[in-house]
Amino acid sequence: MKGWKWWQKGLVGVVGVLVVAAAYIFWPQGVWPFVINLDDIAPPPGAYDATILRDEWGVPHIFGQTDADAAYGLAYAHAEDDFVTIQDTLLAANQLAGRVHGRDAAPIDYFVHLLRIWDTVNAHYATIAPEDRAILQAYADGINHYASLHEAEVLTADLFPLTGEDIAAANMLVVPVFFGLDTAVGNLFAGPPEDAPSGSSSCLLPPVCVDTAYGSNVFAISPARSANGETLLAINSHQPWSGPAAWYEAHLHSQEGLNVIGGLFPGSPLVILGHNEHLGWSFTVNHPDLVDTYRLEINPDNPDQYRFDGEWLDLDVRQVTLWVQIVGRLVIPVRQETLWSVYGPTVRQDHGTYALRYASMGDVNLLTQFRHMNKATNFAEWQTAMREGGLPMFNTGYADADGNIYYVYNARLPLRAEGYDWRGILPGNTSETLWTAYLPFDDLPQVLNPASGFVQNANSTPFQTTIGPENPAAVDYSPVFGIENFMTNRALQLLDLFTADQAITPEEFNTIKYNMGYHPESDVARVAEMLAANPPAGDENVAAAADLLADWDLQATPESEATAVIVMTFYYLNQSDAVDLNPSRLVGTEIPLAVAQDAFLQAVDWLVTHFGRVAVPWQEVNRLVRGSVDVGMGGGPDIIHAVYGQLQEDGRLHGFVGDSYVMLVQWDGDGRLTSQSIHQFGSATSHPESPHYADQAPLFANRQLKPVWLTEADIRAHLEREYRPGD
């Protein structure tokens, strides 16, 4: 019996241990009582002086004594609206994504190790200007403060307390993803890079991939083109509607010169695009060649050496540990190798060892440039900020109260040796392929105050920014820079619309922004004409759909019935291996008639199956769905009013990317400022219970804007709530 009792006691003990272990493993991440202890991470009382004024749309207006105070208040306000996405951004930079989100997120942690982001931060953080380090730390403290008061929302205590270095690392991670560095790495893991098809995208970071294929618009007119001496700017970035690259609207004001409103991403301490009293700017994605891949020649007697300029050099080899969640709190260590060569991050695979080199590698000055842009008071100051080179890409448009308009093909363009195929795989054994300098900013393609009175870019070539002789000349730039020569439907439309109107009013400028037309030279117009003239054999539905295309005015308005036919035809063309289609660049694509006919038949079948007919108003198909809001829209792929949808089981398309945060800015002839904006959803990004979860969606779908308030008096006239962080 004694043995039995001992066994019983032992069993009870084992069961107890298992129960505790199971409780730990399966207890929600944010509330485990023995792990979370965040009471002490908030900054001490009085460390910052910030007040948050929420206007009637829930938009936060942050008033601080210093720039750092404003950043602290911004962090707290943004965390109130979207703490989970901010955490996801910071988890990635801190190599904790796999620990929290499991196997699919672990490549993010590897990517950070591979790029040695923390080596750069640790080595160069002290070189960042003191005022910018103060902003970074203040932003971190704002997030810490929110986390200390909302422990149940914390994804993992391992993320906290945050520091300024964490915010710097997160910002270093984002930009290379925009110019496709993650894709270049992912392609190396997918197989020999020589075998990767053109335009392939083996994204290494599925949870945080930034799909830049959907484009953006920026355009401006000067008093030379406006009806009454106005200067007008359209800020019209096309971003995902949710996630780490979705826009958030905020206003920052300090006694040190900040007074800027616009869009920013989770984890950003300053406005990325927007305007202050004096000037405004915006971006579209450009596609210069900023990433190079090299095949290394490995020493047959030592796999950790490579030949360079006739010598065998040692690879810097590290073994790193990735912590990967299996279930609940159960995580396992996974060992991975990361390498570094003279070129930069290096990957060893069965098919070879490859090095990567990319623009602005090791640069930590992005925030400094944005601070100077946010606080600039005139064109000279703003352009000086752009010359700093912290931002390695993006077409950039600008306008100001003095009537200046400007476009620059902003890029850190490597100065490369001629005679190599820089779009291919390069020899990694010679210093001839190791570039170390960039084309000076003042030599980039740019246009300042053209006689035409307008500039525009819609992810299109910089060589057709305006009309007339002031366009940059393509012959002045080597092909090794990879500068685009193509046009988009949006760019063709903008050029035609501005050319046709010599005296544009603010109302006409708004109408141009919401133009829903396809250009006669677009792929869409060409395919519609081709199918109307050569419809495939079929029943009366096929004939009816062809008739709709024959009568179509190329406008993707909410009421258009032909639009549903042609957009769904292009949906199926995009699924076809026979066509290399870019949904945001529907110009110049080779589309054989037979392939178009097959896609057309699939589109007809889809419409009949889900709607019982082919004559379906576009707004019945093209929907904005957010909580209880479900409204129809116009617009479509590669249209100035851009909307891209995901196909649902009920046959409808739910918008998920395209026009998102839109802002139209006006300075009248006397320099007086007014502006309007709209967000696709609202300010409360992750709180369905909030009145601001979808309050802007009906306006957005109806192509309407709301006022932007920049002065404290105007904000208080439309005030919903005033408080300090932690109240």
- Residue type (1 letter), 90: L
Residue 9, pLDDT score: 44
**Across residues 378-391, what is the average pLDDT?**
98
Residue 214, pLDDT score: 66
d(CA 144, CA 726): 11
DSSP structural state of residue 559? T
DSSP structural state of residue 215? -
d(CA 428, CA 420): 12
Residue 616, pLDDT score: 99
Give the lowest-confidence range in 97-101, 194-198, 475-479, 716-720. Answer: 194-198
Residues 642, 524: contact at Cβ < 8 Å?
no
Indicate the pairing of strand 622-626 with strand 653-667: parallel
Residue 17, pLDDT score: 39
For residue 126, how many other CB atoms are within 10 A of its CB?
9
**Across residues 710-723, what is the average pLDDT?**
98
Residue 201, pLDDT score: 43
**Across residues 239-251, what is the average pLDDT?**
96
Asked if the model's pLDDT at residue 397 lies above 60, the reply is yes
Does domain 523-708 fall under CATH 1.10.1400? My reply is yes
Residue 195, pLDDT score: 64
Sign, Cα dihedral of 128, 132, 134, 139 = negative
Q: Which two tokens stand for residue 227?
A: 């009806």
User: Tokens 């997918």 sit at which residue?
Assistant: 190
| Predicted TM-score (pTM) of this structure | 0.93
pLDDT digits (tens, 9 = 90+) for 27-51: 455 444 435 578 889 999 999 999 9
pLDDT digits (tens, 9 = 90+) for 116-168: 999 999 999 999 999 999 999 999 999 999 999 999 999 999 999 999 999 99
Residues 182, 367: contact at Cβ < 8 Å?
no
Residues 357, 364: contact at Cβ < 8 Å?
no
**Across residues 435-460, what is the average pLDDT?**
98
Please report, for the chain, the start and end positions of each structural domain, with discontinuous segments joined by +.
2-31, 214-288+375-416+440-513, 523-708
Within 8 A by CB and 6+ apart from 146, the residues are 75, 76, 79, 80, 83, 725
Residue 631, pLDDT score: 98
User: Tokens 């401006």 sit at which residue?
Assistant: 220
Asked if the model's pLDDT at residue 67 lies above 60, the reply is yes
Residue 14, pLDDT score: 38
Residues 245, 239: contact at Cβ < 8 Å?
yes
pLDDT digits (tens, 9 = 90+) for 554-565: 999 999 999 999
Indicate the pairing of strand 279-284 with strand 273-275: antiparallel
> Could you give the C-alpha distances from 531 to 569, 580, 587, in angstroms and in order?
10, 19, 17
- In terms of Cα–Cα distance, which of 217, 218, 667, 664 is closest to 400? 667
Residue 193, pLDDT score: 78
Q: Which two tokens stand for residue 628?
A: 């209880």
d(CA 71, CA 140): 9
For 415-435, give one letter per residue: b (16+ CB within 10 A) or e: ebeeeeebeebbebbbeebbb
Q: How confident is the model at residue 329 (pLDDT cuts 50, 70, 90)?
A: confident
- Any alpha helices (H) in 45-126, and if so which ranges? 67-93, 97-101, 106-115, 117-124
In angstroms, the first-to-last Cα distance of the chain is 63
Does residue 327 sit in helix, strand or coil?
A: strand
Residues 66, 254: contact at Cβ < 8 Å?
yes
Backbone dihedral angles phi then psi of residue 171, each to the nearest 5 degrees: -70, -30
Asked if the model's pLDDT at residue 436 lies above 50, the reply is yes
User: Tokens 């991939």 sit at which residue?
Assistant: 209
Q: How confident is the model at residue 328 (pLDDT cuts 50, 70, 90)?
A: confident
Give the orientation angle of helix 106-115 with respect to helix 181-190, to 10 degrees: 110
User: Tokens 């989970």 sit at which residue?
Assistant: 84
Q: Partners of 629 in the beta sheet?
A: 626
**Mean of the per-residue pLDDT values of the chain:** 93
Rg for the chain, CA atoms, rounded: 27
Within 8 A by CB and 6+ apart from 310, the residues are none
Place domain 214-288+375-416+440-513 in its CATH homologous superfamily.
Aminohydrolase, N-terminal nucleophile (Ntn) domain (3.60.20.10)
d(CA 543, CA 642): 29
d(CA 211, CA 171): 17
Residue 196, pLDDT score: 59
pLDDT digits (tens, 9 = 90+) for 402-434: 999 999 999 999 999 999 999 999 999 999 999
Residues 337, 113: contact at Cβ < 8 Å?
no
More confident residue, 428 or 26: 428
Q: CB burial class (10 A; 0-12, 13-18, 19+) of residue 2? A: exposed
d(CA 463, CA 399): 19
Residues 92, 162: contact at Cβ < 8 Å?
no
For residue 326, how many other CB atoms are within 10 A of its CB?
11
Residue 192, pLDDT score: 84
d(CA 126, CA 168): 11
Residue 178, pLDDT score: 86
**Which conformational region is residue 344 in: left (phi greater than 0), alpha (psi within -120 to 50 degrees), or beta?**
left
Asked if the model's pLDDT at residue 234 lies above 60, the reply is yes
Indicate the pairing of strand 302-308 with strand 298-299: antiparallel
**Across residues 179-193, what is the average pLDDT?**
89
